[in-house]
Amino acid sequence: SFSLGPLLTTGAVEALLTCASDELKAIYLEKMITGQWTGTMNLTEPQAGSDLALIRSRAEPQGDGSYRVFGQKIFITYGDHDMTENIVHLVLARLPDAPAGVKGISMFLVPKFLVNADGSLGARNDAHCVSIEHKLGIHASPTCVMAYGDNGGAVGYLLGEPNRGLEYMFIMMNEARLGVGLQGIALGERAYQQALAYARERKQGRDAITGEALVSIDRHPDIRRMLLLMKARVEAGRALTYYTSGLLDRVHATADPAERKRWLYLAEFMIPIVKGGGTEMGIDVTSLGIQIHGGMGFIEETGAAQHWRDSRITTIYEGTTGIQANDLLFRKLMRDGGATARVVFGEIQATAEALAASPRPELQTFARSLGSALKAWVAATEWLGASAQNGYSAVLTAAVPYLHLAVTVSGGWFMGKAALAAAAHLDAGEGDSAFYRRKIATACFYADQLLPQARAFSETVQAGDRAFAGVEDVLS
């Protein structure tokens, strides 16, 4: 819950660096970077959730270059609090002459307190939290209904050019989506640690293999299976997040435009995979944590349920799983004719070949599983490309299964890379040998238990919208 405040502030800083005037940067950036002031993103309205074309908030120009902002925003994370001196709201609103739809949205900086010329805080702005939501989880994060302009208009400042607000907001959105993907992974890790500790302490039943009486439940095969599922999926998700963060570092570090574009396209391809995959995994893994606790998992005092309650929002905010899937397909896969996807496929193939060349039999087996999963992903991708020529009905129904396919195979790719690195350290006699053996064992579990799901996801994708024929009658 607490981490959401810095997460959104970081995104707001990136947006200001990209599109704010030098004057606004001088006033706001330093104190946002130091954490003296926090930032928010204000998109959603009662009638405008995922469909931002329905935004009604408006901004009226004033003679001094500022604007008066009017409207209501909902679900605003850290919309109001007393932890910092000021809160900098980035608000989507329409200018009087704006075109209809998403092409008529601009972005405005609206501070909680106005800032004087010398940098000191001035009068309270007409931006107020009118209620705080009562939520399933993330209780320590204030989720606010914000009212702008109830008393004459909130003073705001245009960021960048008119009618490009959605474009600028996506700068924040990409940062937030990567961060929320990591949030799901982190909650999964915490749930795994707690479930593992409980399973080692809780004694129930006999060992099914040795017959030993009253053993800790981590000795029971199904408990071990669930613990390994938690561990393997968290490790795969963490590796994907690190890789994507590294791609973004390369985007900022390289001076060559062509190289920068390559890294940017790869990063943007991976972000919906990290966000969609990390958050769906977080829900699944925290649910397994409750299951391992048995009846005690359903008791709030245990703490296992909180991880699930906190994770449940992650597949909804900053773009639902369905939106991530559509983003992956339409904005990332098809925008360059699949060129970026083919780069990823080539990297996965290289990892499979390196695994196949290993003298270790378990890594050779991994190579076959990864190669088979990659073929399933390639087949689904080619089918989508061909189907899109005949309209988007089949493509749209296949979007989420395709995202799950991409997540599964990408996770296998990095578990394979981890296994290769661990094997190299073992062969060289370096480091913590027990850690490296566990890493290889976890990777092989992923290959045996999770990678085979890729074929099922691929078949689901290629079934298209066949199963949806006549669905109106079914749902009537």
Which residues are catalytically annotated? 318
**90 and 169 Cβ atoms separated by less than 8 Å:** yes
Distance between CA atoms of 272 and 280, rounded to whole angstroms?
12
> Is there a contact between 372 and 198 (Cβ–Cβ < 8 Å)?
no
Under DSSP, is residue 158 helix (H, G, I), strand (E, B) or coil?
A: strand
Q: Identify the CA nearest to 180 among candidates 282, 305, 52.
A: 282
Structure tokens at 122: 């001035």
**What do you get for the CA distance between the two ends of the chain, in Å?**
40
Query: In this structure, are residues 412 and 236 in contact, taking their beta carbons and an 8 Å threshold?
Result: yes
Residue carrying the six token digits 């699944």: 284
The beta-strand segments (E) located in 361-412 are: none
Say how far apart CA 348 and CA 410 lie, in whole Å. 8
Q: Who's near 353: CB < 8 A, 6+ residues apart? A: 367
Cα–Cα distance, 354 to 359 (Å, whole number)? 10
* Residue whose entry in the numeric block shows the structure tokens 């009017």: 70
Strand (E) or helix (H) holding 37? strand 37-42
